[in-house]
Every structure is written in C-alpha cells, then in structure tokens.
Amino acid sequence: MNDFLKHYELYLKAVVNANELNKAVVFDALAAAGLTRVTVDFDGEGDSGQINDITAYTGEAPAEFPSTALTLHQAAQNRGDPRTTTVSLHDAIKILCYDYLSQTHGGWENDDGAYGTFEFDVPNRSVHLDIDERFTDTTNSTHDF
C-alpha cells in the first residue's frame, strides 16, 4: 500500500474515533438544553458542499440553540496528535455532520454530488443519515447502415 493510502486509512480511523467522542458531547448538550430533535440539510456538487439548514426542536416546535460552548475532538490531518477545538453547539453539530459525511461518503461534494438530511434523535441518542447521491449516466447506441 502506498504512503498516501496508508495515511488516509489512518486518518479515517481517527475521524471515526473523533465522531464517537463528539457524538456523546453533542448529545449531552442537546439533552441538557431540553432539545428533542435536530435536522440538518446539506447539498453538494461541483467540488463544493455545504450545510444549508440546522433546525432544533423541542417536541414538534422549532427551538433556539443555546449558546453552549463545547470542546470537540478533531482527527489529525498530518500524522500529528489529535487536537481539540471549542465551538458553539450549533457549530458542533455542523462539524459532526461534515465528519460523518467524510466517514461514510467521502467525496459527497464532488462532481454531481449528493444531498440529504441528518436527523438527531436526542432521546435515543442516535443520528440518522438519509443521503441521495447524484450521478451522470449515458446511453450509447451504434448503428451501421
């Protein structure tokens, strides 16, 4: 295996580990704030991707995010030790979603891209990802006359 693939594999393992740690931090903060559900819409194509909307709920009613500061773990990009960063709860959810996309659908933002929704179920401490990947298809026909 070449060096790039080896390092990328190690990086993905570090992302998975950071995601597990960050998931617990985020769910603890969501529960403490009395939030029951969070939805996150994303869309990407043409080498660009973004989170479009993050909505919190208490029951079925939309709710505001508290200004809670959280410390998240980050996977080291270049063989360094993992590091941490302090962000708002809103930004922590955004980071966790981007990292879940990297973990499960690397390149989701490239070419025709992908779009979808994350749903954070706070009472069950689970995250559901619904993703649609776009692709270009061609049909070839040949004719001899």
In order of 4, 34, 88, 120, 123, the CA distances from 31 in angstroms are: 40, 5, 15, 11, 8
Q: E strands of 28-105, at which residues?
A: 37-45, 48-58, 61-63, 69-74, 83-88
Q: Please give the chain's pLDDT, 145 residues, in tens.
A: 578 888 788 888 888 899 999 999 999 999 999 999 999 999 987 777 889 999 999 999 999 999 999 999 988 766 556 689 999 999 999 999 999 998 887 777 777 788 999 999 999 999 999 988 888 888 888 898 9
Q: Which amino acid is at 5?
A: L
Token pair in block for residue 45: 């194509």
The confidence score (pLDDT) of residue 80 equals 58
Computed from CA positions of residues 100, 101, 102, 105, in that sequence, does the dihedral angle turn out positive or negative?
positive
